[in-house]
Chain A
């Protein structure tokens, strides 16, 4: 436990010294919220959103979804593949520290980035944009499930890619269709039913729908929660099988 705490602290310092990636990941979602939430139309009830307002549903879910995807698809695999490429994971493997401690530190730290980004979205939304304070006892468990579902996808990218460049390539390949089916370009509510149905089954799409329901105070659909749980098991299992230190 002490080793895990210590590793997490050092890894977090290292990440903060990089400045750009964590800043981008934390600020991009807030920027999206500000830009798209500017229009007064997001603050009137919308029948297409079940009578909820955009600022309480599609906007926060978009911000949180983008932040989780940035961390899971990009930040996590890039750090891990860099560590493998530079022999850092092998270096750790020759010490008494267990590989799981390093992995645990990365997961905790990256989970914290998603949390900070979500809190910032919430704070800016509630104070500046008339967002209703959501029921956190609904939102936080969904966020946790999202992290547990999507981080293994990043681990799988790290396990399959040789180095950080390949990992970034794979991250983009995942990101664009995932973002499409999660309704980043065209809101899910306006997608043709077939595409919507596909989106329900993609991890990022399922996460966005679930977090959107939670933010609006509704119970997320079991399908979306199940998709996240299944992604966790499948991607997690595959990445463990593919993992190599050097």
Chain B
């Protein structure tokens, strides 16, 4: 069964068409990447999937449910781009608070240990480094033991070392049976982690393929991405 189904999604803010025509299907157990340039409509698309925005047209289903269905909140873990926590909340306190929201939460202590945050458990959020805050945010996305996790730009702002650690973590999460929807604009990240990738450009899906399949269209994933998303060749890419 498809875990996430998005079909001809449309969303407009005033005169600006953020999403014009986005379609893809995510299967259970996949790490599915959504890549595109800044402003391509990636975040709007996942915000609709997360139930934070409603679409103007098209359909989105997550685990067979409408994204706005409250029942989904128990089963979908979300890591938001640019979302912070209260400055003075402590790491363990935040995790235990969020765990208390769910019927069947993960054990906060285990989660902290697996994210390398155990020694910072008593630290206030504002005292954490960028990488630690990011891992905290991943921990909160996983604390409800979700079936699906949506992770938006999770390695942006991390140093290379922290990025690699985060990648390992995402693979661990998938190995536990969680389906992952990963939004990124890093090609190496998408290539390393994703089973399949949707390329979004100017609000449209221009390709859905495996990293290898996308690379087959050019000499690297990076140049495949560039040729798919540059204005001049967008039409050829769609046909090709």
Q: What residues make up the interface of A, taking CB atoms closer than 8 Å to B?
A: 2-3, 6-7, 10, 13-14, 17-18, 83, 86-88, 90-91, 93-97, 245-246
Q: Which of B74, B83, B85 contacts A96 (CB 8 A)?
A: B74
Would you call the interface of chain B mostly helix, strand, loop, or mixed? loop
Shortest Cβ gap from A234 to chain B (Å): 29
| CB–CB B100/A86 < 8 A | no
The number of residue pairs between A and B whose CB atoms lie closer than 8 Å in the complex comes to 60
Q: Which of B73, B80, B100, B101 contacts A90 (CB 8 A)?
A: B80
Would you call the interface of chain A mostly helix, strand, loop, or mixed? helix
B89 CB within 8 Å of chain A? yes
Shortest Cβ gap from B137 to chain A (Å): 9
| CB–CB A95/B102 < 8 A | yes
Between-chain CB contacts (< 8 Å), 27 pairs = A2-B100, A10-B93, A14-B86, A14-B89, A18-B88, A83-B86, A86-B84, A86-B86, A87-B83, A87-B84, A88-B86, A91-B80, A93-B52, A94-B51, A94-B52, A94-B78, A94-B80, A95-B73, A95-B102, A95-B144, A96-B70, A96-B74, A96-B103, A96-B144, A97-B101, A245-B52, A246-B52
Q: Determine the residue in chain B with the shortest Cβ distance to A95.
A: B101
Question: How many of chain B's residues have a CB under 8 angstroms from any CB in A?
Answer: 26
B109 CB within 8 Å of chain A? no
B140 CB within 8 Å of chain A? yes
CA distance A7 to B100 in the complex (A): 10
List residues of chain A with CB within 8 A of the CB of B102. Answer: 95-96
List residues of chain A with CB within 8 A of the CB of B124. Answer: 17
Pairs A-B, 5 closest by C-beta atoms: A87-B83, A94-B78, A86-B84, A96-B73, A17-B88
| CB–CB B78/A6 < 8 A | no
B219 CB within 8 Å of chain A? no
CA distance A18 to B88 in the complex (A): 8
